[in-house]
Amino acid sequence: MAKTRGQFIKYSLLGFAIFSIIMGLAFWKIGNAQTYQAVHRQRFITSKASKIHLTSREKRVAKKYRLNRIQTRTATKISLTAIGDSVMVDVKPNLKQVFPHSAVSGSVGRQFYSLPKIVRQLKAHGHLAKYIVINLGTNGPPTKHDINSVLKTVGSKRQIFWINTRVPRHWQNTTNRLISQTAKKHANVHVVNWYRASKGHAGWFASDRVHVDLTGAIHYTHTLAAEIAKDLN
């Protein structure tokens, strides 16, 4: 009995050792594959960037907003529709400078429930661009019904870049969680993580800790341009 028990323990340990080796090799292969992909992508980006020659205007924009050549050229070329609240009003001049082919609509107090109608009207008149920027959530969280309505109107061929929020209100986390959940479910929805980018930078904001100052507007625009370039290249 003791011998049988000893053999059981022996073979169990052996089996565990073999399993550990197999799993280790599997994770090693996965890690190597991910490293290769990362290196290959970086080489591709470096090669692509080396072929871009910025104009004088683009160089000024790149310097002011700390953008690389790919980020700058991507922002220069694309047409986008940006819809937001009073924060969008703050950054409108910056967005127009970095994204010259943009239509920017910001309104004080605007909430997400107004977006479905706005998007429908823009689409009906042929004014809804392929790339859409949403900055809504400062004044209250969206509902799933309104989110689904917007997604249905926009369709799957347009790309949505949804900027999450930093606002000292109880709905901040709810809003950001809904944005994140929507992006995970829909391949054409991308999170622009202003909440993370602005963490620890109280100096970028006005006294209300919601609206950005001149420095904050530059960083806000940089965050958007960087995310768009990352997702489109």
175-198 residue pLDDT tens: 999 999 999 999 999 999 999 999
* Whole-number Å distance between alpha carbons of 157 and 170: 34
The whole-chain average pLDDT of the chain stands at 89
Average pLDDT for 209-217:
97
Q: What is the phi/psi pair of residue 217, to 5°? A: -65, -35
Percent of the chain clearing pLDDT 90 (strictly above): 78
SS3 call for 168: coil
What CA–CA distance (Å, rounded) separates 134 from 163? Answer: 6
Q: In this structure, what is the dihedral angle of CA atoms 140, 175, 146, 133, given to the nearest 10 degrees?
A: 100
Whether the model clears a pTM of 0.75, i.e. scores above it, the answer is: yes
What residues are labeled active site? 86, 208, 211
pLDDT at 111: 96
d(CA 223, CA 94): 12
